Amino acid sequence: MIAAALFDQHRMHPAAEQEYTPYSPPPTAPLPEYLADLVVAALIDEVTLTPKPGLVDMRSRGAHRDLSWALMCHSAWALHSTFHAMAVAGQSMADLQRLREHIGFLGRQGEASMMRATGDINSHRGAIWALGLLVTAAAQDCNALAPAAVAARAGVLARIPDPFSPVLTGNKGQRACHEYRVGGARAQAQAGFPHVIEIALPCLERSRARGDKVNDARLNALLAVIAELDDTCILSRGGTAALASVQAGAQRVLAAGGAASPHGRSVLRQYEEELLVLHVSPGGAADLLAATLFLDQLRTDFVH
Ligand SMILES: CC(C)(COP(=O)(O)OP(=O)(O)OC[C@H]1O[C@@H](n2cnc3c(N)ncnc32)[C@H](O)[C@@H]1O)[C@@H](O)C(=O)NCCC(=O)NCCS
Ligand SMILES: Nc1ncnc2c1ncn2[C@@H]1O[C@H](COP(=O)(O)OP(=O)(O)OP(=O)(O)O)[C@@H](O)[C@H]1O
């Protein structure tokens, strides 16, 4: 009798007719701390991903004489406070012009801390730029954390001129942009990271959906970006001929089945050799992979 009453009561309860939506608690750390942790984790996941063509990974320095996996991890952690300060600024500064100037200042300070941490080796200049804009943009609106929304806000910030930024940095990326008439890291950000949103994230999803392992899905996403990016890291070391051959090689690995297929893997091995002979490294694509991993994790944690 009691059991029947309880049963009826249960049937009467309106929620019983609906599908149960599990409660997902917000991350316990305050947002800027959580976002800075996520950026550092993305940088460490990127450098740890192995085997990457031409790039520093767990097993080799790739085409770099002065970088190593340990140095890249050390540099990533040294940048935690930079990304944290950018997220705090994104969360608290409503005036976009002032916000742009402030994160420009933090970015230049971050580059100086990176150089101090590495003994004057450029490990993450491109990453500070791309992930700095993205972490600021994420913190600006914690109710709109889908990759396209965050990347679009980062694009808005990147298009705002920063009167305090040096006109000529003298860096290799900027020189390559002038010499080869490409947009480089700046244009990629100003366009709202199209290679992340339209190429890397969809490739990651497709690869995962067909059952590829996480590592292979990430390698495929990296190759998809390399195949399409005007990477000033490659241009400045090898010019347009090297860029064309690096792009075509990445395309060849993907066409052979990608990182998860035995044939794709063997083409990838040949491709790695070619990059070492050319002495080039797709550093810009690596930064965009880190940006992809950051946005992908943000979406997993927050977007339901
Ligand atoms: C725009 C930046 C990257 C300067 O670039 P510059 O061309 O002078 O230098 P650099 O030789 O380091 O090249 C840029 C780096 O970007 C990456 N990159 C290369 N090509 C590309 C590309 N097509 N797309 C994305 N990233 C790329 C590479 O890792 C490369 O090392 C940045 O350092 C800068 O201007 N910082 C100022 C601080 C600032 O405004 N910060 C704002 C918020 S973070
Ligand atoms: N895993 C990685 N391995 C190597 N480079 C990476 C990796 N991830 C990102 N990068 C990017 O590559 C850039 C380094 O490229 P590169 O070594 O060509 O620059 P450089 O130090 O100015 O030049 P060079 O070593 O030719 O003197 C870094 O700024 C970083 O943004």
Name the residue ranges covered by the structural domains of the chain.
32-47+67-160, 172-298
Q: Report, in angstroms and rounded to the nearest whole number, the Rg of the chain calculated over CA atoms.
A: 22
Per-residue pLDDT of the chain (304 residues; tens, 9 = 90+): 344 444 444 444 444 456 666 555 455 568 999 999 999 999 999 999 999 999 999 999 999 999 999 999 999 999 999 999 999 999 999 999 999 999 999 999 999 999 999 999 999 999 999 999 999 999 999 999 999 999 999 999 999 999 999 988 889 999 999 999 999 999 999 999 999 999 999 999 999 999 999 999 999 999 999 999 999 999 999 999 999 999 999 999 999 999 999 999 999 999 999 999 999 999 999 999 999 999 999 999 988 6
> 130 exposed, middle or buried (CB, 10 Å; 0-12, 13-18, 19+)?
buried
**Cα–ligand 2 centroid distance for 234 (angstroms):** 10
Q: Is the CB of 174 under 6 A from ligand 1?
A: yes
Please determine, for the modelled complex, whether the ipTM score is greater than 0.90. Answer: yes
Please name the amino acid found at residue 139: A
Residue with CA at minimum distance from ligand 2 atom 10: 283
Pocket test for ligand 1, best of 131, 171, 182, 190 (most atoms within 8 A of CB): 171
Whose CA is closest to 71, among 80, 61, 83?
Answer: 61
Q: Is the CB of 282 under 6 A from ligand 1?
A: no
Q: What is the pTM of this model?
A: 0.91
